[in-house]
């Protein structure tokens, strides 16, 4: 079995958070070698790691003295790479698998000291595709918060009424910013956070990850893509609904019907063993039959500004976008994968519609984790 | 002029967020070639990044042949490696400084393409050090959120009653979890969120980054250490106060007195040009004179658990812990525009601890204390 080496903090390195499921904000070392799992971590982190996973052996970083390094006149920027190199040497590690994001500054030092580091992102991705019970519970908690956030947005839209300058609720202008604040409060009440949700109205909805801004018009379409993170587990959920207020727009209503149908078609295909790319292509074919451009039909090298211009889906877990790919980048699905499926139709300058559900892949199908109506009416 | 290459997303790479000041969740390529700034990113992000900063040349990946890569049945990482190599070729980049956290997995591919990459974290840290404009505004908003959150937490403690040795409120024990839930709502109302924060009663307060849990005993100190992040700017604040409901023991009152004195002594020294180590020394002297251990008095290799066992402070900005560091390590001199914490504390693992932390903006002739909150132990 290969040795494994991870250096980083658990807020930014999902590979490390999967092994050490506690939030540790400062960089530390985790290794698997000779059947041992070892974390070398500053004692300010206390017993937090041992409490969640007693199989990890804890060594205090303080047992590696920086005094000698300082006496050697090392530049402060060289102290930590040198300290990590001492730690690696103490474990007798000579060759280890590391993820793509292993810090280059430390890799250079370790390699100079004769440690062989082999980047094998697939190895770490595969580990993370099998969610732990704790992670899956976290995803469900995040999904629950996403739905609460969506309800908070829908309630404001539903209570809003037209005025001379756009929609109003409780005498105050209704804006994308206000809708986001309502969703953020709903997340916070459920132990989740989400600082980059999309609540985009009108033409903004056609602009990819534009988070949205400004006043909701009297007749308007609001695309809400919410991906809160459950704080304790650091796991995400991901869902999208599109709402319409005021006068009906025939194009939006038509696109919405097609997106819901495409989503149902995609969900029906999901099961262990199915290729993610196959589901993506089926949805592309569905949209192409209805006259839309997709990634499969657009002229190569051109920027696509209308139709279905993104991938159908992606894995969700410790990252909001992770393996497996359900798009032009494809993985075979396995039971236990959690994937988001998000068909959408757009036209730059006009607007867009997207609906997105989160599903858990099982042997013979999937469990839809999203429990929220698709309706355009908030 | 040094050329620069950063690959990552702006949530996890503070170096990249500083250059491209908006939330971009998926990895992309940023580079500087002869002083010109280029971004190579998926086409759905192009308009937003152009809108965020006028001096960026933003290239959709179609310009470097992304479609042809997709057609080759490559994996994600392989596509990202190719796109990085093609972006460098497109911009004519042959030699670049990269941050310490540059993904090692990209190294071999780029070096094979003849690109020389040198880790120069100091270059990136220097760029991020002087806080101004939207980042400083963001830090101030996060600081207001921290104070509002703490006001709510302290108010809950003040209303609580002693029920058989633990705090009760509205017919239920007032737990750390209840206090945190109320504080999170206040952060959210202020456009901020917190990954985690410390509300640590009794002995938990002496365990470094223990986040705290469970009921609170009457008369025990509770350490509140808060570092909410402003969503719009992605910048943090950081503050700590220690609160007791019930009788304060002489020991805890003594820790509080000496900690406040150390905070005052350190703050009085802050100004541009002062050596970081000398500020740390000033705080240590206050503790040592009162008979407490510090990192200066411990023996090499010893794990210190009593007294003032940690560093004094650190920079705060796009990261909650960043340079300059005021501790045992040489930290260099403070410069005007640094935003740093000053956080002395005194602990005993059997009892708990007292920590006080202010956030200050370094100026030419002193500092502006950004934290406006009383130091009192009593709720």
Nearest to B121 among A77, A121, A211 (CB): A77
pLDDT score for A48 = 86
**pLDDT for position A210:** 81
pLDDT in tens, B230-262: 999 999 999 999 999 999 999 999 999 999 999
Residues of B in contact with A320 (CB under 8 A): 25
Which of B5, B40, B44, B202 to mutate to probe the A interface, most A CBs <10 Å? B44
The pLDDT value given to residue A265: 98
Within 8 A of A70 by CB-CB distance, chain B residues are 329-330
**How many Å lie between the alpha carbon of A133 and the closest alpha carbon of chain B?**
21
A133-368: CATH class: alpha beta
Question: For residue A248, with 0-12 CB atoms within 10 Å meaning exposed, 13-18 middle and 19 or more buried, which class applies?
Answer: exposed
Q: Which of A339-353, A357-371, B31-45, B73-87 has the lowest mean pLDDT?
A: B73-87
Average pLDDT over residues A180-185: 93
CB pair distance less than 8 Å for B62 and A302: yes
Residue A214 to residue A205: CA distance in whole angstroms = 13
Asked if A108 reaches chain B (Cβ–Cβ under 8 Å), the answer is yes
Contact at CB, A46 and B207, closer than 8 angstroms: yes
Chain A residue with CA closest to B194: the answer is: A193
Give the model's pLDDT for residue A51.
86
Rounded to an integer, what distance in angstroms lies between the CA atom of residue A258 and that of residue A307?
A: 12
Q: Which helix (H) or strand (E) holds A6?
A: strand A4-8
Q: Are strands A313-315 and A322-326 parallel, antiparallel or unpaired?
A: antiparallel
The whole-number pLDDT of residue B299 equals 82
Query: What's the topology of domain A4-128?
Result: Creatine Amidinohydrolase; Chain A, domain 1 (3.40.350)
DSSP three-state, residue A372: coil
Mean pLDDT of chain A: 94
In a mutagenesis test of the A interface, which of B14, B60, B105, B186 is the best target, namely the one with the most A β-carbons within 10 Å? B105
Contact criterion met (CB < 8 Å) for A328 and B210: no
- Give the 3-state secondary structure of residue B324: strand
| 8 Å CB contact of B76 and A323 | yes
Burial of residue A262 (CB within 10 Å: 0-12, 13-18, 19+) is buried
B149 CB contacts (<8 Å, ≥6 apart)? Answer: B183, B184, B186, B187, B190, B226, B228
In tens, the pLDDT along B151-161 reads 999 999 999 99
* pLDDT given at position A229: 96
Whether A58 contacts chain B with CB within 8 A: no
Q: Which residue has the higher pLDDT, B156 or B44?
A: B156
**What tens digit of pLDDT does each residue of A84-102 get?**
999 999 999 999 999 999 9
Q: Report the residue of A303, A306, A316, A323 to disrupt the B interface, i.e. the one with the largest count of B CBs within 10 Å.
A: A303
Pick the residue from chain B with its C-alpha nearest to A121: B77
Interface check for A51 against chain B (CB to CB < 8 A): the answer is no
Q: What's residue B280's pLDDT?
A: 98
User: Could you tell me which chain A residue has the CA closest to the CA of B49?
Assistant: A210
Question: What's the confidence (pLDDT) of residue B118?
Answer: 94
pLDDT tens for A44-67 read: 887 889 888 999 999 998 888 777
> How much is the average pLDDT of B215-227?
97
Let me know: does B105 contact B111? Beta carbons within 8 Å: no
pLDDT at A57 (0 to 100): 95
Contact A207 B196 (CB under 8 A): no
Long-range contacts of A337-340 (CB under 8 A, 24+ apart): A337/A129, A337/A361, A338/A131, A338/A136, A338/A139, A338/A369, A339/A270, A339/A276, A339/A313, A339/A314, A339/A315, A340/A238, A340/A239, A340/A313, A340/A314, A340/A315, A340/A316
Q: Do B48 and A60 touch (CB under 8 A)?
A: no
Q: Which residues of A touch B107 (CB under 8 A)?
A: 104, 107
Q: Let me know: does A269 contact A282? Beta carbons within 8 Å.
A: yes
Judging contacts by C-beta atoms under 8 Å, the chain B residues touching residue A48 are: 209-211
SS3 for B245-306 is CCCCCHHHHHHHHHHHHHHHHHHHHCCCCCEHHHHHHHHHHHHHHCCCCECCCCCCCCCCCC
Q: Flag if A104 and B119 touch (Cβ within 8 Å).
A: yes
Nearest to A46 among B208, B321, B328 (CB): B208
Residues B70, A328: C-beta atoms closer than 8 Å? yes
For chain B, the residue count is: 379
Closest residue on chain B to A330 (Cα): B75
Is the distance from CB of B30 to CB of B37 less than 8 angstroms? yes
Inter-chain touch A189–B184, beta carbons under 8 Å: yes
Neighbour tally for A352: CB within 10 Å: 26
Mean pLDDT for B123-143 is 95
Taking alpha carbons only, the member of A27, A52, A25 closest to residue A40 is A27
- Which residues of chain A neighbour B332 with C-beta distances below 8 Å? 76
pLDDT at B126 over 90: yes
Pairs of CB atoms within 8 A across A/B? 183
Examine the pLDDT at B301 and tell me if it is beyond 80.
no
Condensed to tens digits (0 to 9), the pLDDT of residues B323-372 reads: 999 998 888 999 999 999 999 999 999 999 999 999 999 999 999 999 99
Model confidence at A285: pLDDT above 80: yes
Q: ipTM more than 0.90?
A: no
More confident residue, B302 or B84: B84
| CB-CB neighbors (< 8 A) of B310 in chain A | 44
Answer yes or no: do B329 and A79 touch at CB < 8 A: yes
Which chain A residue has its CA at the smallest distance from B77's CA?
A: A121
A138 touching B (Cβ < 8 Å): no
For the residues B27-54, what does the mean pLDDT come to? Answer: 94
SS3 assignment for A231-293: CCCCCECCEEEEEEECCCCHHHHHHHHHHHHHHHHHHHHCCCCCEHHHHHHHHHHHHHHCCCC
The phi, psi pair for A57, rounded to 5°, reads -80, 130
| Higher-scoring residue by pLDDT: A281, A194 | A281
Residue B67's pLDDT band, with cuts at 50, 70 and 90, is confident
pLDDT at A166: 97
Looking at the partner chain, which of A44, A107, A184 has a beta carbon nearest the beta carbon of B208? Answer: A44
Write the pLDDT tens digit of every residue in B208-219: 788 999 999 999
Q: Domain coordinates of chain A in residue numbers?
A: 4-128, 133-368
A133 touches chain B (CB under 8 A): no
What number of CA atoms fall less than 13 Å from residue B167's CA on the CB side? Answer: 31
- Please indicate if any CB of chain B lies within 8 Å of the CB of A97: no
- pLDDT tens-digit readout, A290-331: 999 999 998 888 889 999 999 999 999 999 999 999 999 999
Would you call A349 an interface residue with chain B, using a CB distance cutoff of 8 Å? no
> Pick from B308, B254, B262: which is nearest to B282 by CA?
B262
Q: Which long-range contacts (CB under 8 A, 24 or more apart) does A84-91 make?
A: A84/A7, A84/A29, A84/A109, A84/A110, A85/A109, A85/A110, A85/A113, A85/A115, A87/A29, A87/A40, A87/A59, A87/A61, A88/A5, A88/A29, A88/A31, A88/A113, A88/A115, A89/A113, A90/A64, A91/A31, A91/A33, A91/A36, A91/A38
Percent with pLDDT over 90 in chain B: 85
Task: Kindly state the percentage of chain B with pLDDT values over 70.
Answer: 100
Q: pLDDT band at B195, cuts 50/70/90?
A: confident
Task: Give pLDDT tens digits for A107-161.
Answer: 999 999 999 999 999 999 999 998 999 999 999 999 999 999 999 999 999 999 9
Q: What is the mean pLDDT of residues A197-209?
A: 91
The closest CB to that of B105, out of A119, A209, A309, belongs to A119
């Amino acid at each position: 079995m290969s040795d494994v080496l991870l250096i980083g903090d658990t807020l930014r390195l999902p590979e490390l958070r999967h092994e050490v499921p506690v939030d540790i904000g400062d960089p530390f070392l985790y290794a698997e070698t000779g059947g041992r799992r070892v974390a070398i971590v500053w004692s300010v982190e206390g017993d937090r790691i041992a409490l969640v996973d007693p199989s990890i052996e804890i060594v205090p970083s303080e047992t590696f003295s920086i005094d000698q390094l300082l006496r050697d006149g090392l530049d402060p920027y060289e102290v930590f790479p040198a300290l990590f190199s001492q730690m690696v040497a103490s474990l007798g590690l000579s060759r280890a698998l590391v993820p793509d994001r292993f810090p280059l500054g430390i890799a250079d030092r370790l390699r100079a000291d004769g440690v062989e580091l082999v980047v094998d992102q697939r190895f770490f991705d595969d580990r993370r595709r099998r969610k732990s019970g704790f992670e899956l519970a976290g995803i469900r908690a995040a999904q629950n918060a996403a739905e609460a956030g969506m309800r908070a947005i829908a309630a404001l839209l539903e209570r809003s009424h037209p005025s001379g300058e756009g929609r109003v609720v409780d005498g105050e202008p209704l804006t994308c910013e206000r809708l986001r604040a309502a969703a953020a409060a709903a997340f916070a009440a459920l132990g989740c956070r989400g600082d980059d949700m999309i609540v985009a109205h009108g033409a903004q909805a056609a602009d990819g990850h534009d988070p949205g801004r400004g006043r909701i018009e009297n007749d308007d379409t609001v695309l809400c893509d919410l991906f809160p993170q459950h704080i304790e587990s650091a796991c995400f959920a991901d869902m999208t609904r599109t709402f319409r207020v005021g006068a009906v727009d025939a194009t939006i209503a038509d696109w919405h019907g097609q997106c819901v149908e495409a989503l149902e078609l995609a969900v029906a295909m999901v099961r262990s063993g199915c290729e993610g790319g196959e589901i993506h292509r089926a949805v592309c074919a569905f949209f192409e039959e209805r006259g839309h451009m997709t990634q499969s039909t657009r002229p190569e090298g051109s920027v696509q500004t209308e139709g279905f211009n993104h991938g159908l889906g992606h894995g969700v877990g410790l990252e909001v976008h992770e393996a497996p790919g359900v798009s032009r980048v494809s993985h075979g699905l396995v039971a236990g994968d959690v994937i988001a499926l998000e068909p959408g139709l757009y036209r730059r300058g006009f607007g867009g519609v997207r609906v997105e559900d989160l599903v858990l892949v099982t042997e013979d199908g999937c469990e839809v984790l999203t429990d929220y109506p698709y309706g355009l009416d908030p | 002029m040094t050329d620069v290459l950063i690959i990552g997303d702006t949530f996890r790479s503070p170096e990249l967020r500083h250059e491209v000041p908006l939330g971009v969740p998926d990895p992309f390529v940023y580079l500087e070639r002869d002083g010109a700034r280029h971004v190579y990113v998926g086409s759905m992000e192009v308009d937003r990044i152009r809108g965020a900063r006028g001096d960026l040349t933003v290239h959709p990946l179609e310009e470097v042949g992304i479609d042809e890569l997709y057609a080759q049945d490559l994996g994600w990482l392989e596509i990202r490696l190719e796109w990085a190599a093609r972006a460098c070729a497109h911009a004519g980049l042959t030699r670049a400084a990269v941050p310490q956290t540059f993904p090692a997995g990209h190294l071999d591919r780029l070096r094979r393409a003849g690109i020389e990459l040198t880790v120069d974290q100091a270059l990136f840290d220097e760029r991020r050090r002087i806080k101004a404009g939207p980042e400083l505004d963001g830090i101030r908003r996060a600081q207001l959120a921290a104070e509002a959150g703490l006001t709510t937490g302290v108010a809950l403690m003040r209303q609580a009653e002693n029920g058989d040795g633990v705090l009760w409120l509205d017919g239920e024990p007032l737990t750390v979890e209840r206090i945190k839930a109320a504080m999170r709502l206040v952060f959210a109302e202020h456009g901020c969120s917190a990954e985690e924060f410390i509300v640590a009663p009794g002995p938990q307060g002496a365990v470094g980054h223990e986040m705290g849990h469970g009921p609170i005993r009457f008369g025990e100190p509770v350490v509140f250490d808060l570092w909410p992040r402003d969503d719009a700017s992605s910048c943090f604040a950081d503050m700590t106060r220690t609160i007791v409901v019930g009788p304060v023991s002489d020991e805890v009152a003594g820790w509080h007195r000496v900690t406040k004195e150390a905070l005052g002594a350190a703050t009085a020294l802050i100004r541009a040009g002062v050596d970081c180590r000398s500020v740390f020394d000033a705080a240590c002297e206050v503790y040592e004179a009162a008979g407490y251990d510090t990192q200066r008095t411990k023996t090499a290799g010893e794990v210190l658990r009593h007294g003032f066992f940690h560093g004094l402070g650190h920079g705060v900005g796009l990261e909650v812990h960043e340079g300059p560091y005021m501790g045992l390590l040489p930290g260099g001199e403070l410069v005007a525009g640094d935003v740093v914490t000053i956080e002395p504390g005194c602990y005993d693992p059997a009892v708990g601890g007292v920590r006080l932390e202010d956030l200050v903006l370094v100026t030419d002739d002193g500092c502006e204390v950004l934290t406006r909150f009383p130091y009192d132990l009593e709720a």
